[in-house]
């Protein structure tokens, strides 16, 4: 949009001043501490932005292995970059008492139980009303208040009293504590735009935008309708809706998600931009795999994802039952964890296929690579999948994929088998076709691997940079 030559064209072009962009990014997970695609997306996107020349300051409520964060400046709510003259106690650094110290080392997040704003969530809807009223008051006073920091002394706090980096207690309470902590971090940083990932960070994004006057972009990787179907948690829905309507722009990971944002949350179409996810290309060669519990002549069909309603694990098992009625030398590997884990294990046993289904639990890092390299086919039978990075990772490891039509990634993959999640007979037929006919498997593998190499995080980063430029231009005051 903002081409250096001044042309308004369809391809992405970042202006020269875009190379000096500084983004305050808000996330809830980052490698190696991930529970799903959100952490993977944050890593890939920020790494590509760094290559593009966009400076990223990432606020995260976890301690992070610095080996994964060389391309971004990572802050946790317990590691203030600068604390001048704040009533937070005196820090002792190398025997010297100082209150304005730069912290380079990331620390675990710890929160105090404090009064006023951050009371326990006996009535979460009432708390959100109070939170939003507080933000409105901050927005009104921002232009007149010379010392914003002092007004946020009751908005979030830090402690070094414990070595634990894990949260405890009510999730909603922690989200709003994170918002207060993020405000304190943000007021010490120089940046141009705020980028908030998914609903857990929306209150923080709203608060920072209110205090700093910077434009807010929210990134929708998943909605409450994807996670819960029609039985949505009203509090989460309200947070999502508030974040989307407060934002200057809404980024969605697919047109499927964009349509949900427009139809279910009442956001105008002009405000929503689709930015597809990418994949970190695999540079490792094939490895020797120890196929524990699997005979060398057995085929492997892989499910990798959270074992929750959204991912359709029960449909995977129903299709597996049908496949095993036609072929015996097949093992179905379910890699992941989730709230349906026990019921799915019981379901497999009740169907009489327990000896043919292997449950690995949640996998990380090289274990993920190993399980992909074992697989003859990856199946993602998601009921509602905003995008779905796992199929890209499978193709990147030369594994053909079968995905549901109810997934955003189906919009960008041509050389993949597709099926409605509920059509378990057709799902079984396509699994059998791949396992029985090697030429089909080879064609899907080769063309899919070539296709996935065009889905780059660099393109996603450039599209985000274009959106940043758009909102920045809109918020430049007129003289």
Question: At residue 237, what are phi and psi to the nearest 5 degrees?
Answer: -60, -45
What pLDDT score was predicted for residue 17? 43
Q: How far apart (Å, rounded) are the C-alpha atoms in residues 182 and 227?
A: 26
Q: How far apart (Å, rounded) are the C-alpha atoms in residues 80 and 103?
A: 7
Helix (H, G, I), strand (E, B) or coil at 190: coil
The arrangement of strands across the sheet holding 299-304 comes to: 357-361, 330-335, 299-304, 377-380, 401-404, 417-419
Q: How far apart (Å, rounded) are the C-alpha atoms in residues 389 and 45?
A: 13
Asked whether 41 and 27 are in contact (CB, 8 A), the reply is no
Domain ranges of the chain: 16-278+458-475, 299-452
- 299-452: same fold as 16-278+458-475? yes
Q: How far apart (Å, rounded) are the C-alpha atoms in residues 50 and 156?
A: 30
Architecture of domain 299-452: 3-Layer(aba) Sandwich (3.40)
Question: At residue 62, what are phi and psi to the nearest 5 degrees?
Answer: -145, 160
Q: Residues in the chain with pLDDT < 70? A: 1-19, 32-35, 62-69, 76-170, 282-296, 476-479
DSSP 75-109: E-TTS-S--TT-SS--EEETTEEESS----S----
Q: Tokens 């890699």 appear where?
A: 335
Q: What is the pLDDT of residues 271-322, one digit of tens each?
A: 999 999 999 876 554 444 444 556 568 999 999 999 999 999 999 999 999 9
What pLDDT score was predicted for residue 104? 31
β 91-93/96-98 pair status: antiparallel
Is the bond leading into 32 cis (omega within 30 degrees of zero)? yes
What pLDDT score was predicted for residue 293? 55
What pLDDT score was predicted for residue 124? 45
DSSP class of residue 7 equals -
Cβ neighbors of 172 (< 8 A, separation 6 or more) are: 121, 124, 127, 235
- Whether domain 16-278+458-475 has CATH 3.65.10.10: the reply is no
Please give the C-alpha separations between residue 376 and each of 68, 195, 290, 380, 408, in angstroms, as whole numbers: 30, 38, 15, 14, 23
Q: What is the CA radius of gyration of the chain?
A: 24
Q: If residue 372 lies in a helix (H) or strand (E), which one and from where to where?
A: helix 365-374
């Amino acid at each position: 949009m903002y081409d250096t030559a001044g042309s308004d064209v369809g391809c992405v072009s970042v202006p020269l001043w875009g190379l000096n962009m500084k983004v305050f990014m808000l996330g809830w997970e980052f490698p190696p501490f991930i529970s799903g695609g959100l952490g993977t997306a944050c890593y890939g996107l920020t790494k590509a932005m760094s290559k593009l020349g966009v400076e990223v300051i990432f606020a995260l409520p976890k301690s992070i292995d610095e080996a994964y964060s060389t391309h971004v400046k990572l802050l946790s709510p317990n590691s203030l970059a600068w604390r001048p003259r704040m009533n937070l106690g005196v820090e002792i650094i190398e025997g010297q008492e100082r209150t304005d110290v730069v912290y380079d080392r990331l620390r675990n997040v710890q929160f105090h139980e404090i009064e006023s704003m951050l009371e326990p969530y006996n009535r979460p809807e009432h708390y959100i009303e109070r939170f939003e009223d507080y933000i409105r008051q901050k927005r009104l006073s921002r232009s007149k208040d010379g010392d914003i920091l002092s007004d946020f002394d009751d908005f979030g706090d830090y402690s070094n009293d414990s070595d634990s980096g894990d949260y405890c207690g009510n999730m909603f309470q922690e989200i709003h504590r994170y918002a207060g902590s993020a405000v304190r971090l943000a007021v010490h940083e120089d940046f141009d735009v705020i980028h908030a990932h998914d609903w857990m960070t929306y209150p923080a994004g709203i608060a920072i935008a209110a205090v700093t006057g910077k434009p807010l972009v929210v990134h929708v990787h998943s909605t409450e309708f994807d996670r819960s179907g029609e039985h949505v948690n009203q509090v989460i829905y309200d947070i999502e809706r508030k974040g989307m309507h407060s934002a200057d722009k809404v980024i969605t990971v697919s047109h499927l998600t964009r349509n949900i944002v427009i139809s279910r949350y009442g956001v105008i179409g002009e405000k929503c931009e689709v930015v597809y996810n990418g994949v970190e290309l695999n540079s490792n060669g094939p490895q020797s795999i120890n196929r524990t519990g699997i005979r060398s002549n057995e085929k492997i069909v892989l499910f990798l994802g959270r074992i929750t309603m959204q991912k359709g694990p029960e449909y995977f098992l129903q299709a597996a039952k049908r496949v095993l009625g036609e072929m015996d030398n097949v093992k179905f590997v379910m890699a992941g964890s989730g709230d349906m884990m026990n019921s799915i294990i019981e379901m497999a046993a009740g169907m009489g296929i327990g000896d043919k289904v292997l449950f690995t639990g949640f996998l990380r890092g090289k274990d993920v690579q190993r399980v992909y390299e074992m697989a003859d086919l990856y199946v993602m039978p998601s009921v509602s999948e905003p995008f779905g990075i796992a199929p890209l990772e499978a193709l990147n490891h030369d594994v053909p994929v079968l995905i549901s039509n109810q997934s955003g990634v189906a919009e960008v993959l041509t050389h993949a088998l597709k099926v409605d999640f509920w059509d378990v007979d057709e799902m079984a037929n396509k699994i059998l076709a791949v396992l029985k006919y090697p030429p089909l498997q080879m064609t899907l593998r080769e063309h899919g691997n070539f296709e996935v190499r065009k889905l780059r995080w660099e393109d996603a980063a450039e599209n985000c940079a274009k959106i940043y430029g758009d909102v920045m231009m809109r918020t430049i005051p007129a003289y």
